[in-house]
């Protein structure tokens, strides 16, 4: 990489930790209970089991991926990991899906949620299409501008937003158990006339998106001062904290509103806050929720640009030369604007759950390959330097792999339309890769 395209190493452990917490605790915990308990027919039992299992699978995944993150501390995260482990074609496909669907789709999903909550606070009709989409695209554009001012600026925004989001979390948890009337949080397990396997699959997929985002911190490894040491530590500490917060938070929701009411509202956290604090107090907490979503959105804009930047390094996508440039602040500026444009197109759907389910399904295919990569590297490179080793090897990597396979297979069975759309987007990347591969070979032959 030429010196003019180098990213500056300015980030430390604190930014890595707050990026993980900021991206994971962004929107899911405030909005996904609706989808989880909707899937279970308004029954709390299977919903809570889904939250606990999602926490354990995400922690197992983070513990496993942290070993590779320490071994391959480069910008690009999972794109770089799979490139180095399996070769350039799979690395390219990972970057292709990451840039065209997962990172940009997740950015759009969080932006849409920001739009929903923002439009509600401004007094628009619930679910009104135009206000939420305009707010979503406008806020994504604002954060694209701010991220182009430098990774330090992005880090400062992330730190402030992470602290800010603790306010609604702590407030709701603390007051719910004091003022809540108390509802059963385990029974009934499932609503009547539902297919248990399908209900659990849908609930788990929704909960997993709420935990998603932790892998994205690997995108900033090339800008960290000591990634081999700080990145694994941030992953493990961050995901452990998030798991505890999410489980307690859902218990707090259920203590105030039963699951059959949570399933009816797209803004469960705001509704619980209104019950606890009245309309004015609920609005204050809703502003805190907006700050949390703002932090999650900033994290995705920040890391998604690094994914596109890394993909452009392969010179196998259109406009690679432009997308791999960095500006005077050491930021991949054109890649950031690419993220804004693609995510804005996704925002036009106005559908939070559609975008999250589609992106979650696709990314877990690559997560499985990353988890298996730990086992492969242990065999292929037994003497390599590993600043961190996954504990209880190979048990934890196997748990992560089996959990990932369940997510992928059950989605193919129960939500085949999402699987087909996601796979179609991925396979479009193959002719793109082949075209540039042949072009490169022809250039080498002619020279």
Average pLDDT over residues 392-419: 90
Q: Is 323 left (phi over 0), alpha (psi -120 to 50) or beta?
A: alpha
Confidence of residue 84 (pLDDT cuts 50, 70, 90): very high
State how far Cα 372 lies from the chain centre: 20
Q: What is the total count of domains within the chain?
A: 1
The verdict on residue 1 lying in a domain is: no
Enter the tokens of residue 406: 């369940």
The verdict on residue 377 lying in a domain is: yes
The answer for residues whose C-beta is within 8 angstroms of residue 386's C-beta and 6 or more apart is 67, 70, 71
The verdict on residue 445 lying in a domain is: no
Distance, in Å, from the CA atom of 239 to the CA atom of 196, rounded to the nearest integer, reads 28
CATH of the domain at 31: 1.20.1740.10
> 209-266 pLDDT, tens per residue?
888 877 766 656 666 777 777 877 887 888 888 888 899 999 999 999 999 999 988 7
* pLDDT score recorded for residue 138: 96
Q: 65 with 363: CB under 8 angstroms?
A: no
Q: Sign of the C-alpha dihedral, residues 74, 76, 81, 83?
A: negative
Enter the tokens of residue 394: 């190979």
Lowest-confidence segment of 86-90, 278-282, 318-322, 366-370 by average pLDDT: 278-282
* 121-135, 305-319, 331-345, range with greatest mean pLDDT: 331-345
The verdict on residue 297 lying in a domain is: yes
Distance, in Å, from the CA atom of 216 to the CA atom of 360, rounded to the nearest integer, reads 13
Distance, in Å, from the CA atom of 364 to the CA atom of 404, rounded to the nearest integer, reads 6
Q: What is the pTM of this model?
A: 0.81
Distance, in Å, from the CA atom of 30 to the CA atom of 291, rounded to the nearest integer, reads 12
Grouping H, G, I as helix, E, B as strand and the rest as coil, residue 122 is coil
The verdict on residue 446 lying in a domain is: no
Distance, in Å, from the CA atom of 50 to the CA atom of 207, rounded to the nearest integer, reads 7
Percent of the chain with pLDDT over 70: 94
The verdict on residue 196 lying in a domain is: yes
The verdict on residue 149 lying in a domain is: yes
- Residue 246 is part of which domain span? 13-440
Average pLDDT over residues 193-197: 89
Q: 84 with 221: CB under 8 angstroms?
A: no
The verdict on residue 5 lying in a domain is: no
């Amino acid at each position: 990489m030429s010196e003019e395209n180098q990213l500056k190493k300015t980030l430390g452990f604190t930014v890595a930790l707050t990026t993980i917490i900021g991206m994971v605790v962004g929107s899911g915990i405030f909005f996904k209970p609706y989808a989880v308990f909707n899937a279970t027919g308004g029954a709390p039992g299977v919903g809570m089991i889904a939250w606990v299992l999602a926490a354990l699978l995400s922690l197992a995944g983070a513990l496993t991926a942290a070993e590779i993150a320490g071994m391959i501390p480069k910008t690009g995260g999972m794109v770089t990991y799979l490139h180095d482990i399996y070769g350039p074609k799979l690395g390219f496909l990972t970057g292709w899906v990451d840039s065209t669907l997962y990172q940009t789709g997740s950015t759009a999903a969080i932006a849409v949620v920001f739009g929903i909550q923002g439009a509600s606070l401004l007094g628009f009709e619930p679910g009104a299409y135009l206000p939420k989409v305009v707010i979503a695209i406008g806020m994504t554009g604002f954060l694209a501008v701010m991220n182009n001012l430098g990774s330090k600026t992005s880090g400062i925004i992330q730190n402030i937003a992470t602290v800010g989001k603790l306010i609604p979390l702590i407030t709701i948890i603390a007051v719910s158990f004091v003022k809540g009337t108390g509802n059963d949080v385990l029974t009934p397990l499932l609503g009547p006339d539902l297919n248990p396997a399908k209900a659990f699959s849908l609930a788990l997929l929704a909960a997993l998106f709420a935990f998603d985002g932790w892998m994205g911190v690997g995108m900033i490894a090339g800008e960290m001062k000591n990634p081999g040491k700080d990145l694994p530590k941030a992953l493990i500490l961050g995901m452990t904290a998030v798991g505890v917060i999410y489980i307690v938070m859902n218990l707090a929701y259920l203590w105030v509103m039963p699951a059959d009411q949570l399933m009816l509202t797209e803004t469960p956290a705001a509704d619980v806050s209104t019950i606890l604090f009245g309309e004015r107090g609920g609005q204050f907490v809703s502003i805190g929720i907006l700050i949390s979503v703002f932090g999650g959105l900033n994290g995705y804009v920040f890391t998604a640009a690094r994914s596109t930047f890394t993909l452009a390094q392969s010179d196998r996508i259109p406009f690679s030369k432009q997308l791999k440039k960095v500006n005077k602040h050491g930021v991949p500026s054109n890649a950031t604007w690419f993220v804004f444009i693609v995510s804005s197109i996704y925002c036009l759907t106005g559908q939070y759950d559609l975008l999250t389910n589609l992106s979650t399904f696709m990314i877990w295919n690559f997560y499985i390959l990353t988890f298996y990569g730990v086992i492969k590297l242990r065999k292929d490179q037994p003497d390599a330097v590993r600043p961190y080793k996954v504990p209880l090897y190979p048990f934890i990597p196997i748990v992560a792999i089996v959990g990932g396979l369940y997510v992928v297979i059950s989605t193919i069975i129960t939500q085949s339309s999402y699987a087909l759309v996601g796979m179609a987007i991925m396979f479009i990347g193959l002719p793109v890769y082949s075209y540039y591969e042949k072009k490169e070979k022809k250039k080498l032959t002619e020279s």
